[in-house]
Amino acid sequence: MAENLDLKKIIIKTLDSNKALDIVSIDLKDKSSIADYMIVASGTSSRHIQSLSEQVLEKFKTNGLKNCKIEGKDSTEWKLVDGIDIVVHIFNPEKRKFYELEKIWSELIPKEKVIV
């Protein structure tokens, strides 16, 4: 768990140092089994989004995650870098506003009620 927190910090620093915009980290540990963290950021152009996704993928790999990959390779507006326990979405600002992932995942998700 501490390793994921350290890796999350590395990924955020990588995005920040490469001029990603509006970087947001969302803790998913108690909300979903898909990952421990989701990081959402924006790029300024399709080329910037591609470059950011490749740099994030490289950071995952140099930190021991060999099975990570980039989804949306053909898209110019969005990339997802799957780092197993850390998922990174990189959008152009318009697509990010449209999908509002931060709003969806940041809200409290009520626990299912058990009917007896």
Q: What is the pLDDT of residues 5-29, one digit of tens each?
A: 899 999 999 999 999 999 999 998 8
For residue 16, count other CB atoms closer than 10 A to its CB.
12
Average pLDDT for the chain: 88
Domain range for 90 is 2-106
Domain contains 57? yes
Residue (of 60, 67, 78, 58) closest to 8 by Cα position? 60
Domain contains 76? yes
Residue 48 pairs in a beta bridge with none
Total tally of structural domains belonging to the chain:
1
Taking the C-alpha atoms of residue 45 and residue 15, their distance in angstroms, rounded to an integer, is 14
Taking the C-alpha atoms of residue 32 and residue 59, their distance in angstroms, rounded to an integer, is 24
pLDDT at residue 110 above 70? no
CA angle (66 as vertex; 87, 91 as ends), nearest 5: 30
Its pTM stands at 0.86
